[in-house]
Homo-oligomer: A and B are copies of this chain.
Amino acid sequence: MTPASYIVLGLLERYGPGSTYDLKRRAAQALGNFWSTAHSQLYRTAETLAKDGLLDPTTESTPGGRERIVYRLTPMGRKRLAQWRAQEENELAELRDPGLLKLYFGADPAALAPAQAAAHRRQLQAYEQRKHEDDGAEPRGPWLTLEAGIAHERVWVRYWEGLAATTDP
């Protein structure tokens, strides 16, 4: 069980049964840039989970006559997800920022900082807009997560802008 497994389980629980393509869209929309996964990975993960009895796959045809596999959580899958959720978490996230890595190994801040600051400003705006659009109807988790994203983007913006300022003029 990797994080990707729980993403699949979680998305199915929250938004109901769906095809892998649905999962892909949901993941992009919901987790967005806080935890991305390639769609081919979702395929494999879903298959594996189905093989393990955590998902129940059924083949349906679309209006267009194409077939697709729709997955739904089995009781076991539901249970597994709940267990994970209840488990205390002790892993810490790593920063793993490619820009920061460059900086660490001696990149010139003046060259790096402006672009990074701009990118993070964009991301921050996107998150803030999303928070604005939130109508409070969704469960609490996504909103809390958004908050975290915003807080971090703010720090990044401040950080890189600071770096740009001290080296620029």
Residues of chain A touching chain B, judged by Cβ–Cβ distance below 8 Å, are: 3, 6-7, 10, 13-14, 30-31, 33-36, 81, 84-86, 88-109, 111-112, 115-116, 119-120, 123, 139-142, 144-145, 147-149, 151-152, 155, 158-159, 163
Report B-chain residues with C-beta under 8 Å of the C-beta of A7: 101
Q: Which residue of B lies closest to A88 (CB)?
A: B115
Instruction: Determine whether the beta carbon of A10 is less than 8 Å from that of B100.
Output: no
What is the interface of chain A mostly: helix, strand, loop, or mixed? Answer: helix
Most buried by B among A81, A103, A109, A163: A103
Cα of A107 to Cα of B7 in the assembled complex, Å = 13
Cα of A163 to Cα of B144 in the assembled complex, Å = 9
